[in-house]
Structure 1
């Protein structure tokens, strides 16, 4: 990915998940206290194969 747009606002509501990665104790990956990483894309970006517009956000418990 050439660039990363980080979002934590409501703009993520109209997106689709491209990748979701949760915390896994067995794999020794922990995002905060058990959170998840999400890469998101808007429908028009997905339809145009515009993966340069993928956004990243994360959630933590």
Structure 2
């Protein structure tokens, strides 16, 4: 179980690091766009990301990961 947690966190850090390394100006644009969004929209995006993540973890576990 702990191995899976470390694997998942490592993959997240790799993806996050790639974005910062390959497209730092895109991060600036994204932050500007996020500041312009209402708080409720950002909250909804976060909740949708959580639900999508849970579904992906459930599918992965169902497939034998």
- Band the TM-score falls in, shorter-chain normalisation: under 0.3
Name which one, 1 or 2, has greater alpha-carbon Rg.
2
TM-score normalized with structure 1 length? 0.19
The structure where strand makes up a greater share of residues is 1
TM-score normalized with structure 2 length? 0.18
Q: Which structure is richer in relative contact order (CA contacts within 8 A, separation 6 or more)?
A: 1
The structure where helix makes up a greater share of residues is 2
